[in-house]
Amino acid sequence: MKFASEEIRTKAVNAYLNEKIPSKELSKIFGYSVATICNWVRIFQNENRLSANPNGHRPSCFSDEEQKQLGELLESDVDITLSEIKQHFGKDCSLTAIHYHVVKQGYVYKKNSQSQRTRTRRCKKGKS
């Protein structure tokens, strides 16, 4: 997928709105699909924006400092649940996101096929 610069988007939107050039012709001129041209026009009319959306992932629910605090919390209270971690930090993210950060810290939480814990406490990977 090719990304259009703000300059190309500006030219296409101005041609569509001011010069009344149909989107089908603009798609041939600029080399983008009719739907793309229409999306640019719609976004400009609704949000007054011609720049592309930022790429990348959404920001982490835990800052670097909070991740350090999470590691300390897991060391001090090995049986804490994900819900308790969520409540402790006052987060509104999902339990899956919190689980991701617990695993990122190097901790595992194992259960057997009956959904019973196989160990008496959380432990770092590689330690018994």
67 assigned to some structural domain: yes
Residues 14 and 42 in one domain: yes
Structural domain count of the chain: 2
Q: Is position 100 within any domain?
A: yes
| Element holding 124 (H helix, E strand) | strand 123-124
Whether 67 and 101 map to the same domain: the answer is: yes
Q: Can you list the pairs that 62-66 forms with residues at least 24 positions away whose Cβ atoms lie under 8 Å?
A: 62/89, 62/91, 62/101
Q: What is the mean pLDDT of the chain?
A: 83
% of residues, the chain, pLDDT over 70 = 82
Phi-psi region of 126 (alpha: psi -120 to 50; beta: other; left: phi over 0): left
Instruction: Verify that 18 and 41 share a domain, yes or no.
Output: yes
Whether residue 85 is contained in a domain is answered as: yes
Q: Is the dihedral of CA 77, 78, 84, 87 positive or negative?
A: positive
94 in the same domain as 70: yes
33 pLDDT more than 90: yes
How do beta strands 107-108 and 123-124 pair? antiparallel
> Is the residue at 41 inside a domain?
yes
Could you tell me the pLDDT band of residue 121, with boundaries at 50, 70 and 90? low
Give the pLDDT band of residue 78 (cuts 50, 70, 90): confident
Which residue is it, tokens 């089908």? 24
By C-alpha distance, which of 83, 84, 76, 75 is closest to 107? Answer: 75
DSSP string, 81-117: -HHHHHHHHT--S-HHHHHHHHHHTTEE--B-TTS-B
Whether 122 has a pLDDT exceeding 90, the answer reads no
Q: Check whether residue 62 and residue 95 sit in a common domain.
A: yes
Q: Determine the structural domain holding residue 78 and report its residue range.
A: 58-106
Q: Do 26 and 63 belong to one domain?
A: no
Task: Specify the pTM.
Answer: 0.47
> In which band, very low, low, confident or very high, does the pLDDT at 38 lie, cut at 50, 70 and 90?
very high
Distance in angstroms (rounded) separating the CA atoms of residues 2 and 5: 10
pLDDT of 12 > 90? The answer is yes
**49/1: higher pLDDT:** 49
Residues 40 and 78 in one domain: no
